[in-house]
Amino acid sequence: MKRIVVLTSGGDSPGMNAALRAIAKLGAAQGLQVFGSLEGYDGLIDGKFRELTKVLSDGAVSVDIEVDAAGGQGGTLIGSARSMRFREKEGRARAADEVRKLGAEGLIVIGGNGSLTGAHAFATESGIKVMGIPGSIDNDIGCTSTSLGVDTALNTIVEACDRISDTARAHKRAFVVEVMGRDCGYLAMASAVAMAADAALIRESGKTEDQLVDDIRAVIRNGFARGKRRILIIKAEGINVPCTRLVRMTEERMKEEVANLEIRATVLGHVVRGGNPSYSDRAVAGRLGFGALNSLLAGATDEMVGWLPPLPQGGTPTSDSSVVRFPLERVLEETKSLIDGTSPVTKRRVALMSAASGVLSL
């Protein structure tokens, strides 16, 4: 194997550039040319590639200077997109032709559920060797305890909530802060514990709109009654009730309960997705990149490298004891169960959050 392609797909996450840098450096060290597919799977279909390594005049391979510098930056240097064309077999066949035309024999896909679904289909249809790396700030990928960007996103949420807490205490206010997490409430749960927030509202709880409002009312009423000056409630975006609506409904029902009540809604939105990757995300990106590339060179295909798998799931060990390989089919099955709530991992998270709810509000 002399050439490979790497792409970033779906929602970007801090650490993607660190993974690109690691793969390029490790590839260059082994005389391997590494190309990036521009704009995710669309770049594969259109044959739009960028050299992440350079062949020098003496035949040695070196890392592109911009790739080296971008390793500590957020986003993704080669762009990312959700490709409708790649969902079709015709699009995947065209992509395989472009990869072969480039002379590449392997592909590394960095992304979330949709990206890894595409990687699995491509591997089974094209015969080109494919490895996946989990990249999703929501931490909703199976067979891995974390994905690229999760730690940075949590740090961003904690910093934002620290600032919100300052102004909340100054004015004796309650805040409902919405964070990302469309199908998985992990960011809301983990940041609520780190912030000692008064409550976390997550889709996995299965509560109705009225039940959510009642929970918010109880937390605010009891908190202010105990002399608190700041009430912080963290809401996952997966709850299909807008943050502002929850606040308006709560204020309306509490007019007679708390004098001079002030509740504010803050949606952090894409602020959570951006920013330079933390130490943890850079380190995990490097080690997953190392595991993915070495696995590809060893002949592995249609697999993903996971970080410290949360459950014993029969993966294949790598030379790094923290990195384990799993068939992409198994990863996608576990991801589905994480999202629909049937996974033991999801059940454990919800149970721990339920147990902590009585403590958070104190």
**Count of C-beta atoms within a 10 Å radius of residue 242:** 14
State the pairing for strand pair 263-267/49-51.
unpaired
Active site residue 340: no
Alpha carbons 198 and 355: distance in angstroms, whole number? 13
Phi, psi of 76 (to 5 degrees): -150, 125
Residue 263 β-bridge partners: 174
Q: Residue 72 carries which side chain, given as an amino acid letter?
A: G
> How many residues are present in the chain?
362
Closest CA to 339 of 208, 202, 152: 202
Task: Please pick, among 12, 138, 151, 281, the residue that the annotation labels catalytic.
Answer: 138
313 exposure class (CB count in 10 Å sphere: 0-12, 13-18, 19+): middle
Half-sphere exposure of 7 (CA within 13 A, CB side): 31
- Residues known to be catalytic: 138
